[in-house]
Structure 1
C-alpha cells in the first residue's frame, strides 16, 4: 500500500493596504534549512480603520504595537504614504491633507527614539485635534448629560489632554508621589523654621553680650571719673593710646604738622599767630554743637558757652573740663593768659582779663 503526503501550499500575503473588512496578517518566517520553511501568522480580527477613530494615536495610525521594530515602522509608513498621499489618492480636500499630515507626524514620532520616548512618557509631540460634537456637549434633560459632556468643557480644547497622553498617569495623579511632595515640603519648612529660630536666638545672645560689655565699660568709666576726674581720664586715655602704638600729637615735628594743616592753620596753631579780627569762619557762627581743635579734633567748647565779645574773634566763657590749658604769656610787654589745646598743645588764643 502506498501513501501520498500532502504538503499545504503557503499563502502569499500582499504588502498593499487592505480594503475595509479584510483581515490583516502579520507574517514571521523562520527558516530551519534550505528545504523546509514554516510560516507563523497572527490575525487581528478586530482591527479598526484609524480614519474612523475620534482621536487616533500614532500607534492607531500605523496599526503597530509599541514594540514594533524600525523596519516594520518604515514598511508600514510606505504603505500609508501610497494610500493617503494627495497625489496617489487624487484628493486634495482639507480632510485628505489632514490625514496625510497625521501619517507624517506619526512617522516622525515613531521613527525617532527620543521623540517616541517623550511621547510614550509625557504625550509630547502629538497634536491630534479632538473632534467636537456640539449637540452632545450638554444635555437638555439632565444636569450632566454624560461623563463626556461634563469633562469636554475644559479638556476638549486643551492639547495636553489629547492622544496617548490622555490615558497616561501623571505624576501628581499618583498618590504616593503627591504624598512625597507634601512630606518634603513640610520637612523643608520645618528645617527653615528651626534655622530661623536658631539665628534669632544667636542674634539675641550676641546683643546681650554686647550690652553687658558696654554696661561694664560704662560702669568702669563712671567709677574712674568719680575717683580721678576728667583730667585723670584724659591722661589714662593718652596712656592707652601710647600702649596701642598711637603717637602723642605733641611729639609730631613741624614737617608733620605742615602736612596735616593748611599754611594759615599752621601759622596760628603751631606758631601762635593771630588772624585778622572779624575774618574768622566761626566768629559769627551760631549753630549748636561742639567746637573741636583744628589740629587733633579734640572737643574743646560747647556751642552754648559761646558769646559775642565784640573783639572780632570767637569767645567762650567756659571750656570742656580738661580740654584746654592756661599759661601766662608776657611776650608783648603785658600780662596775658594763653589758651592751648591740652591734647596737642596747639595755640587757641589769649584771655586779656583772667
Structure 2
C-alpha cells in the first residue's frame, strides 16, 4: 500500500524528515553568542526552518568560508565587521541577492550592497573605542585614558587587552583605523608601542570587554557597544570615544556562493533586515545601531553623530590585497616583538 510504502521508506531514512521538509539553514554567525542564539531560535519558531548555527569571529569565518569554497557548508554569513565580507565578495565567495527590504535600510547599510553588486549588505553599525575598569585603575594609581595616545603610557604595561586582527574584525578595524588616522608609518609605530602594553591578544573582538568587567585587565579595546554591554551591569566600566577620532564598522550579512539551502538563506536574509528581527540585538544587550530605518536604536547605543568618526575607507581596507598586506605586515612587524 502507498502509505505503508512511505512509512517503510521513511524508516529506512530514504525520505526527508519533517524538519528537512520545512527547510534547513546553516548559519555562520559573527555577532555575540547570545544574539546568535536568540535570532536563530526566533527564526526557527517563525518559519519552521531548522537552523544549524556556528558562532565565530569575522576573520575565522572568512577563513572557513574560503577553505570550504569548493564544497560550501554554510548558507548565510550573518554579522561581524564588513571588511571581511567585502573581501569575500571580491573573491567570489558570496553571491548577489536583492532583498525587498533593501529599500527600508539606512544609506550606510545600502552602500556595501551597491559596492559589491549585491553580495553583502549592512545590518548594523558601531564605533570603535575602548573601555576601562575605573576601580582597577584607581587601585593601581593609573589615570583614566581619554585618547589613543594615552594607552601608550608605560603605566599601562600589561594592562591593555585587544584581539588579534587575523581572527577578529574588531582588531582589524583598529589596525585600519590607526593607519588611516595617523598614516601607515606612524600607525604601525603606534601598534608597536601599544604591543608593549598588551597583556593578551584574544581571538574574539568582544572578549576584552568581558575581561575589563571582571577586572582581569584594566583596559580593553573593542567596539564601544561591546563595552557598553558589560557596563550596563557593572558601573565601574567606562566607555571612551578616543579624542583623536576613531573608525567604525558596518556589520554585514552575505549569502555564501553555492549555498545548498538557497531558498532558506533568502528567507533568513529578508527576515534579518526587518525591524522586529533587528530588535533582538538590544533584547540581548547588544547595542549596535540597526540598519532598518524603522528599527528603534537602543538608547544605550553610542551616539554616532556625537563621535569624531574618521572617513573610513571601506572600499580600500575591505579589499583582499590591502587586508592581506596589512595583516601580513602586522604579523611580521608587531606580533613577534618582545615586550
TM-score of the aligned structures, taking structure 2 as reference length: 0.18
- Which structure would you say has the larger Rg? 1
The answer to which structure, 1 or 2, has the higher relative contact order (CA under 8 A, 6+ apart) is 2
TM-score of the aligned structures, taking structure 1 as reference length: 0.17
